[in-house]
Amino acid sequence: MHLIFLGPPACGKGTQSAILEQKYGYYHLSTGDLMRREVATGSELGKTIKLNIEKGVLAASEIVNELLKKDVENHKQMSILFDGYPRKIDQAKFLDSVLEKNKDTLKRVFYFDIDAEELFQRILSRVTCNACGAVYNLRTNPPKEDGVCDSCGSHELVRRGDDNEEILKNRIQSFFEETAPLREFYQKRGILSVINARAPVEIVTEQIINAL
């Protein structure tokens, strides 16, 4: 039974995904990660995706859907935690069709509720481990040892290229215009839980676990 994390950039989806992955063995499917992996291959498709990421705008659904479908098929036996997908109604419908084909269902959708001002504060102090992908916030959730990844010990904690103010504005705008309507979409199905994402990491985890 699968879960969806819906929320704007830096709302804590990645951090909570890592916690649930470790605690309950969910497969963390981040379409942002799939896209960055495709960019890293240097393929023609990757070049197109790179342009979208650099502008902070959504990639075409056909591109994301294809990557998503393949990854879901590769993890058929697992409970999947969708992070960053769907981001539009058409993607939500596509996901329904993929899951239906596998006779699978969505268990719950979590909407990470947080205001744009807090996101700006957070995102500008966010770093990611280049080696294992762990995410930290230097202000609210720093690594135990300065500059060292808690998970794998790497010293490569870097800021994502699209974590800057200019691109961030587009990413946040895109969330509130294109993705936020999914809240109502899943609410109507009765599987939506709204999480107070301003709360500290442990409290957010608690809210999620209580609603599972």
Contacts with ligand AMP by CB under 6 A lie at: 9, 31-32, 35, 52-53, 56-59, 64, 84-85, 87, 91, 171
CB of 210 to ligand AMP, least distance (A): 25
* 198 is annotated as an active-site residue: no
CB of 67 to ligand AMP, least distance (A): 9
* 13 is annotated as an active-site residue: yes
- Dihedral pair phi/psi, residue 205, rounded to 5°: -60, -45
Which of 69, 108, 160, 183 is the catalytic position?
160
Which of 36, 50, 87, 122 is the catalytic position?
87
Smaller CB distance to ligand AMP: residue 12 or 84?
A: 84
3-state secondary structure the chain: CEEEEECCCCCCHHHHHHHHHHHHCCEEEEHHHHHHHHHHHCCHHHHHHHHHHHHCCCCCHHHHHHHHHHHHHHCCCCCEEEECCCCCHHHHHHHHHHHHHCCCCEEEEEEEECCHHHHHHHHCCEEEECCCCCEEECCCECCCCCCCCCCCCCCCEECCCCCCHHHHHHHHHHHHHHHCCHHHHHHHHCCEEEEECCCCHHHHHHHHHHHC
* 160 is annotated as an active-site residue: yes
CB of 9 to ligand AMP, least distance (A): 5
Smaller CB distance to ligand AMP: residue 87 or 122?
A: 87
CB of 92 to ligand AMP, least distance (A): 10
Smaller CB distance to ligand AMP: residue 11 or 149?
A: 11
* 108 is annotated as an active-site residue: no
The residue with its CB nearest to ligand AMP is 32
Neighbouring residues of 153: CB distance < 8 A, sequence distance ≥ 6: none
Smaller CB distance to ligand AMP: residue 59 or 204?
A: 59
* 87 is annotated as an active-site residue: yes
Smaller CB distance to ligand AMP: residue 182 or 204?
A: 182
CB of 110 to ligand AMP, least distance (A): 15
Q: How far is CA 71 from CA 81, 144, 157, in A?
A: 12, 33, 27
Cite the active site residues. 13, 87, 126, 160, 171
